[in-house]
Structure 1
Amino acid sequence: MKKKILALTLSLTMLAAVMTGCGQSAAGGTTAANEEQKTETEAADMAAEVEVVIQFGHDNNEGDPVQEAAKYWAERLSEVSGGTMKLEVFPSGQLGSKSDLIDQILAGDSVVCIGNGPFLADRGAPDLGIMQAPYLFETWEELDTLVASDWWAEQMTQLEGAGLKVIAGNWRYGVRHTITTKPVTSPEDIKGMKIRTQGSTVHVKGFEVLGAAPTPMPLTEVYTSLSQGTIDGLENPLSVIYSGKFQEVAKNLMLDGHIRDLSQIVISNDFFNSLTEEQQGWLLQTAQEAGERQNELAAIADEESLQKLKDEGVTVTEVDFGAFRTAAEPFYEDTTLTGAWSDGLVDRVKEIIGQ
């Protein structure tokens, strides 16, 4: 009897051991499965937070309002995105000219650049050329009113169809004036002078109608060209003129205010649409904020730059705006421009801005 009891006890003990082992094995299997699932979840989370890197190239130098606003934009984008979106800033034409950058954008690259109406007019929305028609706009508020109009929305739709997306339209690049190697006090004085302009048709024609010889070239080549006598002057906001040190080789500034340069930040439409809705929101928000910062800096820089230019021996002339406006009237009769514009565009824009 004792032998039978001992045998039964041993059997129960062995069974309990087997069952315990099986339980431990099952628990180990469950733990392994949980760990595997956890790893897959973490990998998915990391994939969702992969850093989006966007490059911002422009022609302006260190210390210029555009560059300072660009750095502020980079900080804000990183901040609001929790570090998942990064803006790399390349000043002084390091990524190429505006035309080079637009080509990269149209190829779908993650690049942004700053451009203005005439530049974009040559890229799919011809009517935007009027944004910088010479001596048309007298205040920033007129341009703000135009950007808030249905007409502006129509232009943005056209640009998107051409592959470009404007993510901020509020960057006040500055009031454009002209600095030259010889004095200019009237429209007659500028006739025959070689003036560096942007390569856009509107900028070129704006000086042609005054009798000047517009000479498009990258801003990075202007200093050498002025010093060598290849050109006689350039037009740009005061802060750009000063930061480029052009006053070292040209000593005559006329405050003609021929253009109020309201610029836009442009990105590939395809690339923008590849971002999540949240990422798009971050990009739009911070680009707009950076534009507001740029405007504050530009206003301060213009005032400071004017004084610095005077201090460095530049002769400053406040010319008759009306005389230059009258001299520029043939611009609006040039069919190479108006032929590409919508019928009645000039009148429509004047009506929108209250002229």
Structure 2
Amino acid sequence: MILSQKENRKIKKVALTKKIECHDKELILTQERTRQTPLAEGDFIAYCFDDNIKVHGGTSLELADSNMMSAIPSSVIVTLLLKGHLKFSYDDLEFHLNTKSEPCAVIVNLAKPANFRREFRAGNQVSKLNIIMHPSWIAQRAGLDCPVQQFTRYHKAHQPIALDQEMLELAQALMALSHPQTFQEKMQFEILTHTLAARVLNQLTHDSFKMEADTLCSHYSQVAHIVNYIEKHLDQDLSLERLAAQFSMSVSNLQRRFKQNLNLTVSGYIRIRRLEIAKLQLERGQITITEAAYEAGYQHPANFTNAFKRTFGVPPQQIYATK
């Protein structure tokens, strides 16, 4: 079941999250300026096919009432909810999935970058899968008259997906392979993903999906635009003065709205995002610690090491040494 409704229950605003391992479970934590709060624990899936297809999800228990927000690039996103309830939005396009009667799913096209927002509710047990497909992957496979190609032309086009028994079995098999390690496991995971994605995309017809007016409203919408701009220009100078001028705001107004909506300062958001990118590059062995420091905006590697350890709990040398 898919609903679009407003609720009055007040929840905490959160901008960033991170995932850590904790004994036999994993945790999703808020990444706030002065503290970290667990949002969910469970077994999470994160698998990428050369940036063309990404699979996220897993089974988890939500631990606190809160909100997370992130920037999403242009993509076709399939969300399958097998258990629990899930409230999320892309800019002003909101979905509320609930498995009270049966598992449910939805497919959404983002023809341009959007801001993703998701609610966490304490006690909510969630089992879900997200399949995120890059537009070029779709374009290489869909002809001009194909319904899938037509679907990708409209920003925020969306459609509920009917889950049959075979699709549920494919989803459950993917959940069981949450951490593929061997060559055979990875091949099996990718085959299952492609098969499930094909079954979902086959439900699209020329007149089956809905299109939304691309409109935004409220102060949150303006902050969402700012976050999206920051995400696309993290490798450039992002001074408060430049950002304020870009959005025709005063510096004080920019700082106030950002803090009110995301519970983080502008500089704090930028600092954490750059550190997260540096961590990812170090994990992949793409750059040295000194290079990571400069790319993250630190002129002195020692300052980078201190900031990295405060944010992730370990120094960058520990991550780089494993490569």
Which bracket does the TM-score occupy, shorter chain normalised? Answer: under 0.3
* TM-score (norm. length: structure 2): 0.26
Return the structure number with greater helix share.
1
Normalization by structure 1: what TM-score? 0.24
Question: Which protein has the larger Cα radius of gyration, Structure 1 or Structure 2?
Answer: 1
User: Which one scores higher on RCO, CA 8 angstroms, separation ≥ 6?
Assistant: 1
Task: Give the number of the structure whose residues are more often strand, by fraction.
Answer: 2
